[in-house]
Chain A
Amino acid sequence: QQQVKQSPQSLIVQKGGISIINCAYENTAFDYFPWYQQFPGKGPALLIAIRPDVSEKKEGRFTISFNKSAKQFSLHIMDSQPGDSATYFCAASAYSGAGSYQLTFGKGTKLSVIP
């Protein structure tokens, strides 16, 4: 069964620090790896995404690092702020042809950024 394993389950970081969340996958057919941020009572919102032909992608304070050989990818949040406190999900998707694709999510990381 396709799986995406995410760690840690929860994370507490001081304001201004770096938050790091890790994910590992098994299915080598995965070829699109997004990260989502979810606030209570809201749907997940796309933060940043990467494809396996790139080892790193940066958008503002958010960076994805991707290690294809290890089948691992991680999210780094630089200069973490209290407003970043949310649950973060990694996900992976594979295109199965004929318009068929689906996201497989990790179990989430609850990030708390303390002042």
Chain B
Amino acid sequence: DAGVTQSPTHLIKTRGQQVTLRCSPISGHKSVSWYQQVLGQGPQFIFQYYEKEERGRGNFPDRFSARQFPNYSSELNVNALLLGDSALYLCASSLGWDHGYTFGSGTRLTVV
């Protein structure tokens, strides 16, 4: 079975630009979450989508947005990039709240 797939794997952007990251969940998983992991820290929750609706939002500015499509894939958009947005962006999918989350390998975003 394919795991959670994320694209692209690496990305370099300039300050002020916009970026779109993509995620395909494990087949049958209806919940997709996004996390930001800064080097040396634990992942921080950004968004959760379940059945194509936003179910949770972490403490991130409005420059961050996301959506989930009818096939349960998801996109994370970040506008007006700042140097501090440089991080590993992780997507996770789940069957349910206590079924565990399966993470993708992430997208490494570098803002210069």
- Least CB distance, A97 to chain B, in whole angstroms: 9
Q: Once the chains bind, are B55 and A99 in contact (CB under 8 Å)?
A: yes
Q: Once the chains bind, are A99 and B50 in contact (CB under 8 Å)?
A: yes
Q: Which residues of A contact B44 (CB under 8 A)?
A: 105
Closest to B57 in A: A102
Answer whether A32 and B43 are a contact pair too, CB < 8 Å, given A43-B104, A99-B51, A102-B48. no
Answer whether A44 and B103 are a contact pair too, CB < 8 Å, given A98-B55, A104-B45. yes
Interface residue B25 (Cβ < 8 Å from any Cβ of A) = no
Main secondary structure of the interface of A (DSSP, over half): strand
Interface residue A26 (Cβ < 8 Å from any Cβ of B) = no
Q: Once the chains bind, are A31 and B50 in contact (CB under 8 Å)?
A: no
Q: Which residues of B contact A49 (CB under 8 A)?
A: 98, 100
Would you give the 0/1 interface string for A92-104, flagging 1 where the beta carbon is closer than 8 Å to chain B? 0101101111111
Answer whether A43 and B90 are a contact pair too, CB < 8 Å, given A100-B55, A107-B41. yes
- Least CB distance, B97 to chain A, in whole angstroms: 4
Interface residue A114 (Cβ < 8 Å from any Cβ of B) = no
CB interface residues, B 1-32, toward A, < 8 Å:
4, 31
Interface residue B102 (Cβ < 8 Å from any Cβ of A) = yes
Per the bound structure, the CA–CA distance linking A14 and B106 in Å amounts to: 31
- 22 residue pairs bridging A and B, Cβ less than 8 Å apart: A6-B42, A32-B98, A34-B101, A43-B92, A89-B43, A93-B98, A95-B97, A96-B56, A98-B50, A98-B55, A99-B31, A99-B50, A99-B51, A99-B55, A100-B50, A101-B56, A103-B35, A103-B92, A104-B45, A105-B44, A106-B42, A108-B40
Query: What is A's interface to B at a CB cutoff of 8 Å?
Result: 6, 31-32, 34, 36, 41-46, 49, 51, 89, 91, 93, 95-96, 98-108
